Structure 1
Amino acid sequence: MPEFTIETTYHLPVFRHRTHAADTLDAACRAAIEDDSWDIAEKDVDSSGPIHVTGIWNGAHAAYMGSSVQIPPQFDEPVQRRARHFEILLGLLKILFDDINAARRPSPDWLARSAWAIARGEAILGGDPDPDEPVDLPKPSHVLVRLQEDRGRDAIIAVLDVDSSFQGLAPEAVTDDEVHAACLSIATTMDLSDAVGSAELQAALSAIRSAQRRLASD
């Protein structure tokens, strides 16, 4: 039976209480961090971190001498595992942000990487191994309608031009913040379920007719 030397670690918080006189809270915090004296330090055993693996070597009593083995991610320190995953999620968010700004649909590669990142995030929360790549992609969804604030601004001009009940109100009197807030309100409260259901039915009928034509031509 194979033998492995396993190094495990837990982090024990050490704290101190010291008064710092400073002009601002930020300055006091900076002084506390830069203070190198720990002569009054105390250990906080009750807040110690979880036990995690920090080294593996093949063989018995082989720490730092035998051939090292990669640590399975589920046995890494949870906070470090989450921190490294944060960098992945931040990179994916930046890509999505650029695509949205350029009015592009997310690429298949982005969808695949995001599906894996979601599965890995769930594995981290559950203390499970990282998922293999690739993972099953969610079925694509399609944007049916987009509420654009600049078009809302155009609609304001059109309404004020024909509706006498708003007489005396100039289009520029309506601020961008008011347009933004109104669009958010409509986007979150307006019920488009009937329209979406109708669109899904039309898509289903179109797909059925396409299949019917394809089979008839075979």
Structure 2
Amino acid sequence: MPDFTIETTYDLPVFRRRTYAADTLEAACRAAIDDDSWDIAEKDFDSSGPVHITGLWDGTHAAYEGPPIQVPQQFDEPIQRRARHFEILLGLLKMLLDDISSARPPSLEWLARSAWAIARGEAILAGEPDPEEPATPPKPSHVLVRLQEAGVRDAIAAVLEIDPSFKALSPEAVTDDEVHAACVSIATTMDFSDVVGNAEFQAALSAIRSAHRRLTFD
């Protein structure tokens, strides 16, 4: 049975209570952060952090005597794992924002990386290893329609031009907030299930016809 030398650590909060005179709350907080005098420091044993592994070596009493072994992810300090995962989530959010700004559906790469990031986040919360392989991304979906607020603006102008019941209202009187709220309401309450079901059926027929032609003439 092999021997391993393992260094474990827990973080112990050290605190002090000192009064600072300052013009503002922010200035007082900055003075407290910049204060490097800790002569009145106390230790808070009740708030110590979780035990985690900070060093791992092969052999007996082998600490810092040879090359370290990589610590399995689930034994790292939890807050550090979460901090590193934050950078991944931020990158994915930037990718999604770029797609939304360009009126594009999320890419398959984004879906795959997001599925893996979700699995990794769940592993971090459970204290388990990172997933070795990206989780299988969902099957691609296709956007049938997109409700554009600019198009709604055009429709408002057309309706006001022909509907006498709103003759006292100009297109400019309808605010951007009202247009946005109306679009959100329609997008979240209108039932498109029949339209989507019909589109799926038509797509199925098209795929079947394509396969039939391919197998018939091969």
SS in 2 for 1:57: strand
C-alpha distance in 2, partners of 1:187/1:106? 18
The worse-fitting range, judged by mean Cα deviation, of 149-158 and 89-98 is 89-98
Give RMSD over aligned pairs.
1.9
Q: Distance in 2 between matches of 1:207 and 1:126?
A: 43
Q: Number of residues paired by the alignment? A: 218
For residue 43 of structure 2, what is the aligned residue in structure 1?
43
User: Aligned letter for 1:170?
Assistant: S
Q: Please state if 1:165 is matched with 2:195.
A: no
Question: How far, CA to CA, are the matches of 1:21 and 1:162 in structure 2?
Answer: 68
* Aligned residue runs from structure 1 range 166-181, under 5 A: 166-181=166-181
- Cα offsets for 1:115-162 (capped at 9, x unmatched): 222221121122111112343222122222211111111111011111
**1:59·1:66 contact (CA, 8 Å) conserved in 2?**
no
Percentage of matched positions with identical amino acids:
77
Matches within 5 A, 1:93-172: 93-172=93-172
Q: What SS does the corresponding residue of 1:204 show, helix, strand or coil?
A: helix
User: What pairs up with 1:69-80 in 2 under 5 angstroms?
Assistant: 69-80=69-80
| Residue 64 of structure 2 is aligned to residue 64 of structure 1 | yes
Contact 1:160 1:166 in 2 (8 A): yes
* Aligned match of 1:8: 8
Q: Distance in 1 between matches of 2:136 and 2:72?
A: 22
Alpha-carbon contact 2:96-2:106 (below 8 Å) kept: yes
Name the residue aligned to 1:92.
Answer: 92
Aligned to 1:53: 53
Q: How many Å apart are 1:205 and its aligned residue?
A: 2.7
Cα distance, 1:8 vs structure 2 = 0.8
Q: More displaced, 22-31 or 161-170?
A: 22-31
Any conservation in 2 of the 1:8–1:55 contact (CA below 8 Å)?
yes
Deviations 1:47-79 (A, max 9, x none): 211111111111111111122111111111111
For residues 53 and 46 of structure 1, the distance between their equivalents in structure 2, rounded to whole angstroms, comes to 20
Q: In the aligned structure 2, how far is the partner of 1:190 from the partner of 1:18?
A: 59
| CA positional deviation for 1:105 | 4.1
Label 1:46 to 1:188 Cα distance change in 2 as closer, same or farther (>3 A). Answer: farther
Could you report, residue by residue, the CA deviation over 1:4-25 in whole angstroms, capped at 9, with x for unpaired residues? 1111111112222222232222
- Superposed CA offset, 1:20-59 (max 9, x none): 2322222222122112222332222222111111111111
Gaps of 5+ in 1: none
Measured in 2, the distance between the counterparts of 1:157 and 1:54 equals 66
Query: Which whole-Å CA distance do the structure 2 matches of 1:131 and 1:73 have between them?
Result: 10
Does the residue aligned with 2:56 lie in a helix, a strand or coil? strand
8 Å contact 1:81–1:124 — kept in the other structure? yes
Report the secondary structure of 2:184's partner residue: helix
TM-score, normalization by structure 2: 0.90
Tell me how far apart the structure 1 counterparts of residues 100 and 9 of structure 2 sit (CA, whole Å): 44
Q: Distance in 2 between matches of 1:76 and 1:25?
A: 36
CA deviation string 1:94-130 (max 9, x = no partner): 1222233223444443333222222211211221111
Return structure 1 stretches of 4+ with deviation > 6 angstroms: none
Residue of structure 2 equivalent to 1:30: 30
Aligned to 1:211: 211
2:90 equivalent to 1:82: no
Correspondence for 2:19: 19
